[in-house]
A and B are shown apart, each in its own frame.
Chain A
């Protein structure tokens, strides 16, 4: 089966509090030129509200992918992941964890919490762009498959 290039745009939720990283993600996405709308939430609570379409986020689109930073103020990324995995609606949304940690403890605990993927944030920009490209290519149905259509 030949993958056809989809014309629809994808919605990716980035949960990240560091403005440097947010900018870096925007720069990288821009460089990649992918049809991705990046929604930014700087805290776990806000991100969960968005996901649950609570308050101002009534009618907000359901993200195709969540990019989650672990070191978040107030609500830790790990907690947020657990909440999502216990929610029937949010449970299927793939979550890719991006973190500076290389600790094996961190990594294994995240997989136990059913993170779909784990990435250590690369030290330089080029690597970052490359990693982001791999993630998006892998997790987003950029090449439409039969099972990828959720509409």
Chain B
């Protein structure tokens, strides 16, 4: 088009006709019009090629404004019928066509140009002025229509159509207007009329696309035919011409209407079918919704409900429709819905909770979503209601349960199974840790458990992930925000939280537990050290039984240091080993050992025993108990030394007893066998003196006397010795005896000596004791006899016997007013055959006190004396009271 304008303008410049007019029969294009075309075409082209360039738009705007002013002036010139057009001054030529100057452009072309300039506003105006753009495109359409009409004028050879008698428009200009207008319409896009009516899926657009070109084409053809036939074939019969045209028109329009009916009617039928299908689908959807759906008018009258609604309420559809919403909503709840109703009428939608009451009279909570919609040409409320009974229950449970979790003083953590980040940490935990929930959401258990690394923690929870275990339990410590730590026992299990897999960690009652644990640790420390430092060997065993539950072996589970010391076994080498592994022949050597321990482990009965353990060649004193069935503990001491010393002692005692027996036998034998030769000596010395005494001198008789006296004393000694030995050999069993009676017997035996010495013997009441009566008599007799014997000259003996009870024994005393005994001789006096006085002064062998001592000691008592020489002496002896007597 630019090209056409440019060529035409060039043609004017060069005055070459073929360039300015299509054919010599046609009117040439005016030079001004040609220039206008160049400017307009350039502007349109530039703006299509560079739509974003501001420079192009600015320059175009200026050009269009100038052109608009020039064209407006031209139009005014025509209206004012001025002859002195500026075109004459611009293009100095007097070329004429059919007598009309070709320099001036036609006023029609001027109008077209103004429309075109206005049309350029479609791309020069800012996008926001939508109305201006719309108007511009309409201008373009008008310009193009102008061009079409002009071209039709040329084609139908009807000059009135292209300027009439005023000044015609050139065909080239008309073509240019069509092209220019179309370009602008196309460049404005399908959003603007008239193009907007042509494109898209709308049935109208389709029909327009289908029939507009056809209709225009046919009508053009018909017009051309008629114009041609009128002027050429039948110029004399306009009726025929009109009739022919009518026939053509009837044929053509019948065809067009047939096409239109088929096209539009078919599509209407299809649409109706589709509408019906859609309606059925919609009904199905409506009914199959899991929510109850009610449709009512703004006044509350129900129009429709779905089957879910009747299922939910237990009424039939028609019953519901007759009830209306007011009959469904729980009256107790109806008042609370006012705000929701207001919201619905104001905002067009509302979501709220309500309560419905079904046919059975029970009301249930529902979640209602109400929306105001256009339905079937009127405004209605679409109400969907969902029974939330279960959800309410769950919510109530979750709310109370959640509150419990939250307020529990136990620490509860929920963390994501994938990222391990905390999802929920309850208040107890947060307060203890010092973290806020928003901090914890970015943290994982690793941030609280410094003992764990990502790897070790992953290992810990792996059994939960793969389902091997339901819960894992660890004991570790948590680090608070302030860096302090506390011990925790953590139970972790896999569950889900808010529909995603999550781990839940419980730390139960940690305060008490920590306290208890601390105490336990202390106690454990205490007992561990006690256990390790105790002198007794300690061994903890599990008993092993055969199929008949008979104990056959045991396993070392724990031993202490003392155990190692006593047995020489190493703890590491025997722990978890069987006793028969450690002592392979134990069952053959000491079959009763495992039996004994087995009994302890099975009956729980404690046993204490001493045992020689052959494999170690040691004696042990063992105390065994069972802390729980099937287990036993043996606490033992090595008593080998004690046993050895006991055995040595026993041997010594046996040897002593044997020696004692031998000694007694000796004393007995001596007393017999010594008597014989002694009797020979005494008898024959006497016989010698008797037969030959008169023949012997006094010296010889003295010798015989000494010999006889020696024999006699020797006999006394032998008899005393015999008596001494008889304390043991001839002793009688201890029986209860009345000491008063004993004393009486003794005094009776001593009657002669008492009366000879003028002595007085007194006594306190004396107790009953357990004793060998004859021996006890002898004790009193010997003691009193001594007192009678060792009295001071000229002072008659006074003797007092008394007794008093002391701890576990009776203390007897025999006190005299005699010579007294120097304490130097305190032991001496009780030794056999020891004498303190000359034989001539106080006769006797000195056996008396020795026999007393032996008798008292046989009775389990002691004997001693207290004395001040010259001031008498008191002999004391004790006799055990009944119950303390040992024989």
Q: How far is the CA of A24 from the CA of B682 in the complex (A)?
A: 12
Q: How near does chain B come to A123, taking the closest CB pair, in angstroms? A: 5
The answer to the question of B678 belonging to the interface, with a C-beta cut-off of 8 Å to chain A, is yes
Binds B, one of A36-44, A85-93, A95-103, A111-119: A95-103
Q: How far is the CA of A122 from the CA of B715 in the complex (A)?
A: 11
Contacts of B672 in A (CB 8 A): 71, 100-101, 103
Q: How far is the CA of A17 from the CA of B672 in the complex (A)?
A: 15
B668 to chain A: closest residue by CB: A103
Q: How near does chain A come to B773, taking the closest CB pair, in angstroms? A: 15
The answer to the question of B680 belonging to the interface, with a C-beta cut-off of 8 Å to chain A, is yes
Interface residues of B in 696-755 (CB under 8 A from A): 708, 711-712, 715, 719, 722, 730
Q: How far is the CA of A121 from the CA of B719 in the complex (A)?
A: 14
Q: How far is the CA of A102 from the CA of B676 in the complex (A)?
A: 12
Q: How far is the CA of A34 from the CA of B715 in the complex (A)?
A: 31
Report the count of interface residues on B (CB-CB < 8 A). 22
B679 lies within 8 A of A123 (CB): yes
Q: With A123-B715, A125-B690 as given contacts, are A100 and B675 in contact (CB-CB < 8 Å)?
A: yes
The answer to the question of A124 belonging to the interface, with a C-beta cut-off of 8 Å to chain B, is yes
Interface residues of A in 38-76 (CB under 8 A from B): 71
A125 lies within 8 A of B676 (CB): no
B682 lies within 8 A of A20 (CB): no
**Residue among B668, B671, B676, B683 making CB contact with A128, cutoff 8 Å:** B683
B675 lies within 8 A of A27 (CB): no
A27 lies within 8 A of B687 (CB): yes
Q: B477-508 CB contact bits vs A (8 Å, 1 = yes)?
A: 00000000000000000000000000000000
A124 lies within 8 A of B668 (CB): no
Q: How near does chain A come to B661, taking the closest CB pair, in angstroms? A: 16
**Residue among A101, A103, A105, A123 making CB contact with B712, cutoff 8 Å:** A123
**Which of A18, A20, A124: most chain B Cβ within 10 A?**
A124
B712 lies within 8 A of A125 (CB): no
Report the count of interface residues on A (CB-CB < 8 A). 19
Contacts of B712 in A (CB 8 A): 123
The answer to the question of A149 belonging to the interface, with a C-beta cut-off of 8 Å to chain B, is no
Contacts of B683 in A (CB 8 A): 20, 24, 123-125, 128
Contacts of B676 in A (CB 8 A): 18, 71, 100
The answer to the question of B301 belonging to the interface, with a C-beta cut-off of 8 Å to chain A, is no
The answer to the question of B97 belonging to the interface, with a C-beta cut-off of 8 Å to chain A, is no
B680 lies within 8 A of A125 (CB): no
The answer to the question of A150 belonging to the interface, with a C-beta cut-off of 8 Å to chain B, is no
Q: How near does chain B come to A31, taking the closest CB pair, in angstroms? A: 9
Q: How far is the CA of A121 from the CA of B678 in the complex (A)?
A: 11
Q: B629-671 CB contact bits vs A (8 Å, 1 = yes)?
A: 0000000000000000000000000000000000000001001
Contacts of A20 in B (CB 8 A): 680, 683-684
Q: With A100-B672, A100-B675, A101-B672 as given contacts, are A124 and B686 in contact (CB-CB < 8 Å)?
A: yes
B730 lies within 8 A of A104 (CB): yes
A126 lies within 8 A of B675 (CB): no
B722 lies within 8 A of A125 (CB): no
Q: How near does chain A come to B102, taking the closest CB pair, in angstroms? A: 196
Q: How far is the CA of A53 from the CA of B678 in the complex (A)?
A: 36
Q: How near does chain A come to B558, taking the closest CB pair, in angstroms? A: 65
Q: How far is the CA of A128 from the CA of B679 in the complex (A)?
A: 10
A126 lies within 8 A of B730 (CB): no
B687 lies within 8 A of A125 (CB): yes
Q: How near does chain B come to A136, taking the closest CB pair, in angstroms? A: 18
Contacts of B675 in A (CB 8 A): 100-101, 121
Q: How far is the CA of A101 from the CA of B679 in the complex (A)?
A: 12
B678 lies within 8 A of A123 (CB): yes
Q: How far is the CA of A128 from the CA of B687 in the complex (A)?
A: 11
**Residue among A21, A27, A123 making CB contact with B682, cutoff 8 Å:** A123
Contacts of A24 in B (CB 8 A): 683-684, 687
Q: How far is the CA of A75 from the CA of B229 in the complex (A)?
A: 201
Q: How far is the CA of A37 from the CA of B687 in the complex (A)?
A: 22
Q: How near does chain A come to B595, taking the closest CB pair, in angstroms? A: 51
A100 to chain B: closest residue by CB: B675
Q: A1-35 CB contact bits vs B (8 Å, 1 = yes)?
A: 00000000000000000101100100100000000
B677 to chain A: closest residue by CB: A20
Q: How near does chain B come to A62, taking the closest CB pair, in angstroms? A: 30
Contacts of B722 in A (CB 8 A): 102
Contacts of B682 in A (CB 8 A): 123-125
Q: How far is the CA of A123 from the CA of B682 in the complex (A)?
A: 6
A100 lies within 8 A of B679 (CB): yes
17 A-B residue pairings within 8 Å (CB atoms): A18-B676, A21-B680, A71-B672, A71-B673, A71-B676, A100-B676, A100-B679, A102-B722, A103-B672, A122-B679, A123-B683, A123-B711, A124-B683, A124-B708, A125-B683, A125-B690, A128-B683
**A-contacting residues of B (Cβ < 8 Å)?**
668, 671-673, 675-676, 678-680, 682-684, 686-687, 690, 708, 711-712, 715, 719, 722, 730
Kindly list the 3 A-B residue pairs having the minimum CB-CB distance in the complex, ordered from nearest: A100-B675, A125-B686, A20-B680
